[in-house]
Each structure stands twice: as structure tokens, then as C-alpha cells.
Homo-oligomer: A and B are copies of this chain.
Amino acid sequence: MEKLFLRGSESLALGAIDASLKFYAGYPITPQNDIPEFLSKELPKVGGKFVQAESEVAKINMLLGASACGIRVMTSSSSPGISLMQEGISYLAGSELPAVIVNVMRWGPGLGGIGASQGDYHQATKGGGHGDYFVPVFAPYSAQEMYDLIIKAFDVADEYRTPAMILVDVMISLMKEKVLRRYDKGIKVKEKKWAFGSKKEGDQKIIKSLYLKGNDLERHNWKLYEKYQKMCQKEVLYEAYLCDDAEIILIGFGMIARIGKSAVDLARERGIKAGLFRPISLIPFPERELENLSTKCENFLVVEMNTGQMVHDIKRVVGKDHNIGFYGKPSSYAPNPEELYLKIKEYLEK
């Protein structure tokens, strides 16, 4: 198990290779370019294919083709590029094809800016594409988690035959940290019997999302829904930091949680019993865990680098009888720990 000093993006790309990624299709967009750049070099060395597509629309569909052949596939992009892939993601979900999609978020709407943002929470978690489906979404907050969660995303994608997403802000992807390369010998991937092999074996295989006959489609939609329910049972990830005795719990994901931890430390130093709750899997959302906390704590402060998206889910889960504050910063500059500490104080005072 190597110990490395890596940028988040490198760590993620290396994780993908260790997870046995065999097909990556990319299209340049800031701020995620170091992922395709790394993989264009490294993937061929392990027998994987790297393709630079003509567009995001093309690349998500290349993934669809390669995934149907049973190999592990991935792409990465940033917000506008993710929007362009929504039809394709919906097709992957409908066709039950595993694929991993990385969104290194930038500012929107439109061309926006290229700074750190969490403006795509809604898009990622509520289905930016058409139709009824949920894509599991993981939000790493360290270089180590970039490595661990990309592997998790591949596993979940295969297990549930679904696209899965890594949602991350650029700060996490730029930051260099120590990384334990847990699977430096690679991961063995289960064979996919449903996928196209080297040739037709037995009955014809058809991979599609069109269901016209009778109530095939209704059944299909409920099947997708049940997969989601199963994920809700089995794939929830979260972290609760100093929540047990907390009078106020900060909630945030990604870099905000990271900064939030420092803010909680600051608050504790200054006598405020603060805690931090961090959803790691945004889909499935850690509903039960948060609900449990809400029986013990009255005050929640949601912090996001947007004008308020996850906060709606928190309201739904925590309930209207709690105090739920929101601090949004839709700017390229993440708040700093002092800023969050002051917000905590302010919030408790009023």
C-alpha cells in the first residue's frame, strides 16, 4: 500500500485506474482538465482506452457503448459539460448501464465562472435528466476520499447497474494531501453476464431503454425505484463530527465540511458546542442518520456554496419544528473558518 502525496484530481484518476477503469472519454473543460490529461497518459499503460470526444454529448454516449460491453467506464467534466450529458445519463439509467461521471463543479448558470462552487447539487441529486431515476452521488472532501470514493462509485455503479456520480468542488480536486493507495495491485472486477462479450453467447442480448408494450415501462420504472430504495438501505455514507452533545450542528458537504470542521473547532475553543454533519453520499441521502440527530439537537446551520439547494432536503428531513439556518456563498471564494464561526455565533444569538 503506497503512501503518496497527490492532488485530489490525481488521486481520483489513480483510484479509477486501480478500480480497473478501461474506457474514459473526455472533453476539455476547466477546472477538471487534469483528470483527462492524467488518464490520456496513464490509461493506455494499463490497457485502457482514452478517447477525446468531439463534445460532452458524444462522450456520454461513447460511455454508453463501452459500458454495454461490460468494461468499467468513466468520464469527467464540469458543470456546463454535465448539463449537456443529461440526456445520456438518463439513457444510462434507463438502460441500466453502469458508468461513473465526475463533476468538478464550477460556477453557473451559463458560462459563469471557473471558481469553486456547489451550484450543481440540485442537478446531481434531483436528476438533471428526464424521467424517474436517481443517480448515486458521492461528495469527497479530501484527496484520500477522492481515491476511495471513485472506487466506491465504480462498485456501486456495477452492483446496481446505474450511472454514479462524484460531485466535487475544484478546491478538493486541486488540494494536495497524503493518499494511501489502498489497491495498488488493482481491484478484480466481477464479470458482467448481462453485457456484450466477445461474441454472442446463447440468446441475443438487447440493451435498451424503450419499453412500449403493456405495462413493461411501469414495471421497469418501479424496478429502478427499488434499486434506489436498496441503495438507501445499503449505501448511505456520512460523517458526524462532535455531534453527540452539540447545541448546533453545521451541515455541509465537500470543501465546506472541511472548512466547517475548522469552524467547529474554533467554536468549541470559544465555548460553543458545535458539531458538523456531513453527507458523503448525497444520493442516497443520510436521512435516517440526520433524523436521529434532530431528536437531540434543535439548531442546524446549513452552509453551501450556492444560494440554497441542499437546505431544502435538510428542511424536509429535519422537519419544520427545528431551527434551520442557511448561509449561502455563491461565489468563487469559499468561506473561511472564522466566517463560519461567526455565522454560528450569530445564529445562536438570535
Contacts and interface: CB of A to CB of B under 8 A. Distances in A.
Contacts of A80: 87, 90-91, 130
Interface residues of A, number: 65
Interface stretch (A7-15, A20-28, A304-312): A304-312
**Lowest 6 CB-CB distances: which A-B pairs, in order?**
A108-B131, A94-B110, A110-B209, A79-B130, A218-B331, A109-B131
A4 B324 CA distance: 51
Interface string A69-107: 000000000011011101100111111000000000101
Nearest to A163: B109
A179 to B, nearest CB: 28
Interface in A311-341: 312-313, 315-316, 319-321, 329-333
Given A94-B108, A109-B90, A217-B112, A130 B126 contact: no
A122 interface: yes
B130 A221 contact: no
A158 interface: no
Contacts of A320: 319-321
A132 B108 contact: yes
B83 A130 contact: yes
A93 B83 CA distance: 13
Each complex incorporates copies of this chain amounting to 2
Interface of A: 57, 79-80, 82-84, 86-87, 90-95, 105, 107-115, 117, 119-120, 122-123, 126-133, 208-212, 215, 217-218, 221-222, 224-225, 306-309, 312-313, 315-316, 319-321, 329-333
Contacts of A307: 132, 221-222, 224-225
Nearest to A210: B111
A217 B111 contact: no
Given A57-B57, A222-B330, A316-B315, A133 B108 contact: yes
A82 B130 contact: yes
A116 to B, nearest CB: 11
A112 B93 CA distance: 11
A127 B132 CA distance: 15
A337 to B, nearest CB: 19
Given A86-B84, A86-B128, A131-B79, A94 B123 contact: no
